[in-house]
Amino acid sequence: MKSSPHKMLLMHASTFVMRFALCAMLFAVFGCGYHFRPTGEPIGLGVESLAVPLMTSTSSEPGFEAVFTRMVRDEFISHARVPLLPAEEAAFTLVGHIHTIWTDPQSYSFLERTVQGNSVIYDETNRRRLRLRLDVSLVERSTGKVVWREEAMETRASYEVTADPLVDQYNKQNALERIARRLAQRIYMRTMERF
């Protein structure tokens, strides 16, 4: 009894899918989690402890470094099982410096007004884009060796601009916190991918 080509194709396809699923399952179960970088240094080594001292800042937003440092610490506390210790006691120190925080107009409204009998059109900013740029590095305390460093790490968020300066400041602060949360997540991922 001969099988049709269609049945043979289906049989080979289902066999392939079953083998692929079995390989994926075995890899997931027995994978050790160690990987090698091109230099041959293993990733997957443990980190005993971490310090996240107050980030430094030369930006024009006073006090933001405290908010940002708290968010980075919170990211490690909520996801990692690495104890956070003072810098003089920790095996690794996460060092950050906020260079700049600046805004650019993102969108406008056009308002037409009559001034002394003349029609005048004004551009009014209704959204601004907030950007933050910083340098971050992870340093092994005992040797001073830089484990990883990223210069000019940057992200942005936008916020609504209104006629009320207090609402604008509130919206800007919320945008800064969104930026801090995103950067804290990136820093966490960048650090933990090495361990």
For residue 40, the model assigns a pLDDT of 32
In three state form, how does the secondary structure of the chain look?
A: CCCCHHHHHHHHHHHHHHHHHHHHHHHHHHCCCCEECCCCCEECCCCCCEECCCCEECCCCCCHHHHHHHHHHHHHHHHCCCCECCCCCCCEEEEEEEEEEEEEEEEEEEEEEEECCEEEEEEEEEEEEEEEEEEEEEEECCCCCEEEEEEEEEEEEEEECCCCHHHHHHHHHHHHHHHHHHHHHHHHHHHHCCC
For residue 21, the model assigns a pLDDT of 53
For residue 6, the model assigns a pLDDT of 58
- What residues contact 59, with CB distance under 8 A and at least 6 apart? 98, 99, 100, 101, 132
The fold of 33-192 is Double Stranded RNA Binding Domain (3.30.160)
Question: How far apart, in whole angstroms, are the C-alpha atoms of residue 11 and residue 78?
Answer: 48
For residue 41, the model assigns a pLDDT of 37
| Each residue's pLDDT expressed in tens, for the chain with a length of 195 residues | 555 665 666 666 566 556 655 445 544 444 444 343 443 333 455 678 999 999 999 988 888 999 999 999 999 999 888 899 999 999 999 999 999 999 999 998 888 888 899 999 988 899 999 999 999 999 999 999 999 999 999 999 999 999 999 999 999 999 999 999 999 999 999 998 866
What's this model's pTM, rounded to 2 decimal places?
0.71
Domain ranges of the chain: 1-31, 33-192
